[in-house]
Amino acid sequence: MMGAKLLLLLVASSLCLSAAIATQQTCPADLDSKCGDAASGDWEGEFFPGIPKIKYEGPSSKNPLAYKWYNAEEVILGKKMKDWMRFSVAFWHTFRGTGGDPFGAPTKSWPWEDGTNSLDMAKRRMRAHFEFMEKLGVDRWCFHDRDIAPDGKTLTETNKNLDEIVELAKKLQEETNIKPLWGTAQLFMHPRYMHGAATSPEVKVYAYGAAQVKKALEVTHYLGGENYVFWGGREGYQTLLNTDMKRELDHLASFLQAAVDYKKKIGFNGTLLIEPKPQEPTKHQYDWDVATTFSFLQKYGLTGEFKINVECNHATLSGHSCHHELETARINGLLGNIDANTGDPQIGWDTDQFLTDISEATLVMSSVVKNGGLAPGGFNFDAKLRRESTDVEDMFLAHISGMDTLARGLRNVVKLIEDGSLDELVRKRYQSFDSEIGALIEAGKGDFETLEKKVLEWGEPIVPSGKQELAEILFQAAL
């Protein structure tokens, strides 16, 4: 009897889920759609017809197009949830991702795309982008310069194209109260950057990269961006046999210092961020991880000018957990922003998947809470749909899932804080340093002669258990 009731319950739940999905009429990812006039420069009507503004419905909701855990206005630990998160949509993955990979052709062709990289297409894409953010309830976005506007034949023509798109973005921002979390220059795709930009052995390429960053800084400032990111995907080497590493690192430092100087000259008060990554596309990237980047900033006197944008997938590529990289940045006063994504443990490259692991999200949010938040940084979804996900609806489902996962992580952190058992376990583990001699050591006054006398007085130390298993139980209890 109980089995029959359970079966009926499962069938009913399945029907509710199917009905919820069926009621959302969305555009298929092909140019034959009747959602708009893809052949003209203008788009008729909505880009996402049938998809309402995404709302919070709570954990019991069966609606896939609703938030179960992210409630933007809810106050948690003294801040609204939206202020803890400061979510941002990445323009490049969301609106320029094609689904192509090294082994296969693109799988996505959104209804509004006409197959060109024209200015008209760039404008239509930008309008779709803002409608998407409005319906999602996200008020920040991130961009690369070359993703929002096409290259021209000359730098002058390219900058003119960018200016035209930026004016449209500015207008849309004023209409929606959406603004950039950060901007950046794409210094890795064009063939001129095959050896890098700031670390290129060709001075003309170095200068071109500087001119591109100059313009990107101006644009980010004009749009009201709160941060500017440097990701040096090609700032590294393929082999040391043809590389003068010291010279390249010196050049990179000079490039970053010039960016600092120009930022101040134009009155841009946003935070400059460096995004570490160990390799891919280069064999070795100079900002390998947070610790390497911190060392670089210290050596060249740049620690007061930059913070770190930690990308979780980059963390695992460098052999660390995302939590490790966040804590390394946090305890050194460098945590500025998080690219919220993850990789696949069975795949050895940067897959940029949406973060959906509750345990990892809880660890991530524990660092954010300890940091007092991320502002003026935030969470940027540097994540893309899987190649096989080709419905327009999937764009929303992916972001909803990522946002709900981090929101659930924040709620779990509250449970851990309120329970206090894990914090108490950590406190007890180091309580011997709360003694007089421990305080002396932590004040930098624990000289070897004094410590030797104490050892002779105490005898052999009794070392207590680390209680790792208990720590894991306490942590898992909050999930």
Catalytic residue IDs: 144
Residue 345: how many other CB atoms lie within 10 Å: 7
C-alpha neighbours within 13 Å on the C-beta side of residue 351: 14
Q: What residues does 230 pair with on adjacent strands?
A: 274
List of residues 6+ apart from 419 with CB closer than 8 A: 474, 477, 478
Tell me whether strands 140-144 and 306-311 are parallel, antiparallel or unpaired: unpaired
- In the DSSP assignment, the letter for residue 186 is -
Main-chain phi, psi angles of 411, to 5 degrees: -65, -35
Strand runs labelled E in 289-382: 306-311, 335-339, 379-381
Distances (CA, A) of 110 to 88, 95, 124, 193: 21, 9, 12, 29
Q: Are 355 and 408 in contact (CB under 8 A)?
A: no
Distance CA 384, CA 101 (A): 12
In three-state secondary structure terms, 224 is coil
Interacting residues of 392 by C-beta distance below 8 A, sequence separation 6+: 26, 27, 28, 29, 48, 51, 110, 111
Which of helix, strand or coil describes residue 439?
helix
How far is residue 369's CA from residue 418's CA, in Å, rounded to a whole number?
13
Q: By three-state DSSP, how is residue 272 classified?
A: strand
Which residue reads 């930690």 in tokens?
310
In the numeric block, the tokens 């801040």 are attached to: 79
E strand intervals along 190-239: 227-230, 236-237
Task: Please give the Cα distance from 112 to 132 (Å, whole number).
Answer: 13
Residue 376: cis peptide before it, omega within 30 degrees of 0 = yes
Chain centroid to Cα 304, Å, comes to 22
- Contact predicate 392/342, CB 8 Å: no
Beta strands in 12-149 (DSSP E): 75-76, 79-80, 87-90, 140-144
